[in-house]
Amino acid sequence: MNISSIVIQCKSSNYDMVEKWCQESDICDFHFGDKTKGKIIVTIEGEGVEEEIAKLKVIQEAPGVIAADMMMTYQEELDEEIKKLESADLVPDILQREDVKAEDIVYHGDLKKKIF
């Protein structure tokens, strides 16, 4: 599950309409707003980046919205990948072998296929 914060910009005169849309929509969760500045902070959730981007586009196209931009994001998939990298050996097996000389290793531009 991914969670991201979105800052919405609107005219002060449209603030109430945009806040109401945010509160009533199933797209986002309203958290804070400043009517004098025309700024609203919401969060969106999605199973993946694609779902979050789709929700962001809906918010950007909502009536009265001037701009809506993703500010912060938390991605579970990213955390899992970071954990895998942190637990991986720092030196690949091929470089630890005594029968392989460094000058015999050919780099083909894709370390993922070469090492893993």
Q: For residue range 64-112, what is the model confidence (pLDDT) as tens digits?
A: 999 999 998 887 777 777 787 788 777 777 677 788 777 777 766 665 5
How much is the pLDDT for 59?
Answer: 97
pTM for this model (two decimals) = 0.67
- The answer to whether 41 and 5 have CB atoms below 8 angstroms apart is yes
- Strand-pairing partners, residue 67, are 9
Which structural domains are found in the chain, ordered by start?
Answer: 2-77 (3.30.70.920), 88-115 (no CATH)
How much is the pLDDT for 116?
Answer: 47
Going 5 to 6 to 11 to 16, the CA torsion angle's sign is negative
